[in-house]
């Protein structure tokens, strides 16, 4: 377990499933002491409905999340160099984060989190895939920063 950084950026491919989950769960577990945001390599998808559903099961609200890309972050004045830690949840986002941070003293960690999109035939099977992804994120957060204190 390590001390919580002041700011974290989670990233994945589209900012529609894994990184919004990580952002929402991180905020739920550890409160507002750490500034937490998320982004994607691309912004071509809205927040995924299955993602919203499985996070609601653990009292994490994602329905108001608006997807954004790394490029949009910059346009909106959110400079990647202002983060203490970037956690990439997909290989493509890791490559992009490393490219964007190559001139900064900034840690980029890679957590290989399963992409649940396209898995499962039935609604129930799809939900189970999304739950696995959610639970992988939960496990990684707790392994890194410990069980949360009451928030």
Q: What is the pLDDT of residue 1?
A: 65
| Residue 151 placed within a domain | no
Q: What is the pLDDT of residue 102?
A: 86
| Residue 2 placed within a domain | no
Q: Report whether pLDDT(121) > 90.
A: no
- How far, in Å, are 88, 119, 123, 137, 149 from residue 38 at the CA level? 10, 23, 27, 14, 23
| Residue 150 placed within a domain | no
Q: What is the pLDDT of residue 150?
A: 47
Give the C-alpha separation, 151 to 141, whole Å: 16
Q: And the tokens for 119?
A: 């898995």
- CATH code at position 95: 3.40.50.2300
| Residue 93 placed within a domain | yes
Please check whether residue 133 is in contact with residue 115, taking contact to mean a CB–CB distance below 8 angstroms: yes
| Residue 64 placed within a domain | yes
Arithmetic mean of pLDDT over the chain: 91
134-150 confidence digits (pLDDT tens): 999 999 999 999 988 64
Q: What is the pLDDT of residue 76?
A: 81
Q: Report whether pLDDT(151) > 60.
A: no
| Residue 118 placed within a domain | yes
18-60 confidence digits (pLDDT tens): 999 999 999 999 988 899 999 999 987 788 899 999 999 999 9
124-137 confidence digits (pLDDT tens): 999 999 999 999 99
User: CB neighbours of 106 closer than 8 A, spacing ≥ 6?
Assistant: 80, 81, 83, 84, 85, 86
Q: And the tokens for 111?
A: 């957590």
| Residue 88 placed within a domain | yes
Q: What is the pLDDT of residue 55?
A: 96
- Determine the average pLDDT of the residues in 93-122: 90
Q: Residue 72 is part of which domain span?
A: 7-145
Please check whether residue 97 is in contact with residue 109, taking contact to mean a CB–CB distance below 8 angstroms: no
Give the C-alpha separation, 74 to 67, whole Å: 14
Residue 69 CA, distance from chain mean position: 13
71-81 confidence digits (pLDDT tens): 898 888 888 88
- Determine the average pLDDT of the residues in 84-96: 95
| Residue 63 placed within a domain | yes
Question: If you search the block for the tokens 């890194």, which residue do you land on?
Answer: 144
Number of structural domains the chain divides into: 1
Please check whether residue 86 is in contact with residue 9, taking contact to mean a CB–CB distance below 8 angstroms: yes
Q: What is the pLDDT of residue 149?
A: 67
User: Is pTM, for the whole model, over 0.85?
Assistant: yes
């Amino acid at each position: 377990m390590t001390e919580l950084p002041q700011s974290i950026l989670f990233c994945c491919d589209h900012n529609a499933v894994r990184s919004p989950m990580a952002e929402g769960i991180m905020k739920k577990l550890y409160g507002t002491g750490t500034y937490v945001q998320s982004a994607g390599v691309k912004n071509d998808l809205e927040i995924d409905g299955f993602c919203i559903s499985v996070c609601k099961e653990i009292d994490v609200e994602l329905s108001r999340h608006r997807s954004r890309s790394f490029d949009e972050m910059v346009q909106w004045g959110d400079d990647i160099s202002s983060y203490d830690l970037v956690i990439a949840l997909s290989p493509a986002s890791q490559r992009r984060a490393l490219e964007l941070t190559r001139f900064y003293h900034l840690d980029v960690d890679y957590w290989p989190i399963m992409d649940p999109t396209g898995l499962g035939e039935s609604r129930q099977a799809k939900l189970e895939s999304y739950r696995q992804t959610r639970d992988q994120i939960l496990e990684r957060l707790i392994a890194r920063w410990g069980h949360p204190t009451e928030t």
